[in-house]
Amino acid sequence: MNTITESYIKPNTASTSIDWLALGARIMLAAIFILAGFNKAADPVGTMGYIGSVGLPFPELGLFAAIAIEVIGGLALVAGFKTRAVALVLAIFSIVTAAIFHSQLADQVQFVMFFKNFAMAGGFLQVAAFGPGRFSLDRR
């Protein structure tokens, strides 16, 4: 039996499973951003020092922007609010931060962090492409 027929015969089971997977994916993708945003807020001086260490101007603005994107974006993603737009912003943020903060690819830790950011960006692009699923504010 193919998935189209299966979905037609058992619509609640198939669609509910997909919706739960979509919710789980959104939570997992958002978790690292929410935690990182709160960690930045808990140590603003250290975070501004790190931002400044890579040569970016206005570390205070960078701190505020990073916290806002990570916390507000992460919570919006979990809730499924403006999901496609939020996912695109978080994908771009992931790629930009990889390029700026993890570009020392000869360092194995930075290499992993760089490609972790790209993998997360890919997950966000999937969310942007396919939407939040039924368990979201966007679908209410």
Please report whether residue 139 resides in a domain.
no
What mean pLDDT comes out for the span 82-92?
A: 98
pLDDT for 136 equals 96
Is the residue at 5 inside a domain?
Answer: no
Q: Say if 81 falls within a structural domain.
A: yes
Residue 124: what pLDDT? 98
Q: How far is the C-alpha of 11 from the C-alpha of 35, rounded, in Å? A: 36
Range of the domain at 45: 12-131
Name the pTM for this structure.
Answer: 0.87
Q: How many domains does the chain have?
A: 1
Query: Under 8 Å CB-to-CB from 2, ≥6 apart: which residues?
Result: none
Cβ neighbors of 128 (< 8 A, separation 6 or more) are 83, 84, 85, 87, 88, 91
Asked if residue 120 belongs to a domain, the reply is: yes
How far CA 65 is from CA of 1, 14, 42, in Å, comes to 49, 39, 15
Residue for token digits 């037609």? 8
Q: What pLDDT is stored for residue 23 in this prediction?
A: 96
d(Cα 11, Cα 1) in Å, to the nearest integer? 14
Name residues whose C-beta falls within 8 Å of residue 85's C-beta, 6 or more positions apart in sequence.
128
Average confidence score pLDDT of the chain: 92
